Amino acid sequence: MLQGLMRNPERLKALAKEAKEFALQHGVVMRTVETPDSSEVVTYAPFTLFPTPVPKAVFHQALAVQTHFNTLVDKISQDPGFLEEALASTVQADDFTAKLFDIYRQVQREGRTQSIVLGVNRSDYMPNQREDGTCSLKQMEINTISAGSFGVTGLLPVVHRHILRLVGLLEESQHVPDNNTLAAVVRALAKAWELYGQQKAVFMFLVEDVQISKLSHRCIENELWKRDIPVIRRKFEDVVKTGYLNGDKKMFVDGLEVAVVYYRYGYVPNNYKEQTWEARLLMERSLAVKCPDIGTHLAGTKKVQQELARPGVLERFFPDQPQVVEQIRATFAGQYTLDMGPEGDQTVAMALAKPDEFVLKPQREGGGNNFFGEDIVRILEEVKGDKRRAAYILMDRIRPKVEHNVLLRRGLPLQLSSVCYEIGVFGAYVRHGGEMVLNEAAGHTLRTKSIEHSDGGVCNGVTIFDSPLFY
């Protein structure tokens, strides 16, 4: 069907126009790069013309394991001994992780003030294609701070079903699943606010100066307002200027008591300067519920991911639960330490010998940070003899199943592209003291890119939104 469309450029052009207009009608919108702070000019969020075929079994495997990953992240965040041991070498080599860990240590020394823990994360996978053509699900990373895309992913199935019907694929349109991510995430956010127990206290989005993704945040904000939860949006600078803690460590910003701080910013080094580090510490020391708190943020580092892949480590967090351990471990790709010592030396030698078989990962979020092929050789040759190499981990490179689709992004020509996709599964949980009061898989996102790109990222113009078509 795709090949037939490519032979009929006028039909393809008309279908792409219909898809874009239908998407705009249904709220699949974002601000433009040229005017990132303006709502006067918007465009459609980039998406695929058709949903991409995804094995149903692999997709459901990712959904089924998410509540266990929620529990795992929460257990790690409560285990200072594990975090201290896991990140000991990384904090010596990576200044950003070290500063986050300094805040974690200070909060631990003072003692936690808030027993309510709120987590919204996203676990990202690719299907790794085996030699026999079958696929196995492999986790690339877990994002524990500012996991996004809620607004677009829930709306896109309607668009893709419409396009399939237009080309006569009525039965196939029934194999595009619903995706109610927004409702599940809002349930968790609202639950944490309710447990805080102060109706006049606000829910604060911690945001950046330039907000190209603001419209996707707004959909969450609107749902909170519908529940009579007051929402404010503030930047680090606002917390610096007007934020303070009272004697009970309740936090106030602009005179408003803050019940929940929801970080939509603060996950990469250039988000910080000296005063914003002070603001982060203020928020972490406060009674406000943090999403994520500093321990949960650190639980999402690449170094922790690598340490979890070591034999026996998962058993530490799930004693006497071998089935849970097996379910989680089945998603792990090979992970290798670059710490100083014989094991790290062996990893360096392995990577230099066959760089195309691995991915070199720094402790960063947000897409576009990983290194492949000759870049691995370049970096390791530079740092292999000193502790700077501990700022990275090495992972087996996933060989994704290649599909074909038409990518709709402003400025891209209408053409058939060879693509691969990432399955992202959202998780949402709330713990109150020792009780997990909410723990669920909160929907999914599918993000697709041309195979000519090694790394991903929607905001950097590589990855676009998609829906799964089950087979």
Give the containing element (helix H, strand E) for 6: helix 2-6
Q: State the pTM of this model.
A: 0.94
Work out the pLDDT band at 34, boundaries 50, 70, 90: confident
Residue with tokens 């303070």: 244
208 exposure class (CB count in 10 Å sphere: 0-12, 13-18, 19+): middle
* Contact present, 46 and 408 (Cβ < 8 Å): yes
pLDDT in tens, 441-470: 999 999 999 988 765 555 556 789 999 999
Give Cβ neighbours of residue 327 (< 8 Å, ≥ 6 apart).
Answer: 64, 65, 68
pLDDT in tens, 304-326: 999 999 999 999 999 999 999 99
Give Cβ neighbours of residue 13 (< 8 Å, ≥ 6 apart).
Answer: 414
Give the CATH class of 335-397: alpha beta
CA-to-CA distance for 345 and 140, rounded, in angstroms? 23
CA-to-CA distance for 329 and 323, rounded, in angstroms? 10
pLDDT in tens, 269-300: 999 999 999 999 999 999 999 999 999 999 99
Could you tell me how far CA 360 lies from the centroid of its own chain?
18
Six token digits for residue 135: 């696929």
* Contact present, 184 and 442 (Cβ < 8 Å): yes
pLDDT in tens, 92-107: 999 999 999 999 999 9
Give the containing element (helix H, strand E) for 260: strand 256-263
| Residue 456 confidence (pLDDT) | 54
Q: Where are the domains of the chain?
A: 2-333+398-470, 335-397
pLDDT in tens, 336-388: 999 999 999 999 999 999 999 999 999 987 667 899 999 999 999 999 999 99
> What ranges in 244-373 are assigned the alpha helix state H?
274-285, 294-299, 302-308, 313-317, 322-329, 342-353
Work out the pLDDT band at 249, boundaries 50, 70, 90: very high
| Residue 457 confidence (pLDDT) | 55
φ/ψ (deg, to 5) at 139: -80, 135
Sign of CA dihedral 311, 314, 318, 323: negative
pLDDT, mean over the chain: 93
Give Cβ neighbours of residue 452 (< 8 Å, ≥ 6 apart).
Answer: none
| Residue 3 confidence (pLDDT) | 74
Nearest to 439 by CA among 75, 154, 111, 127: 75
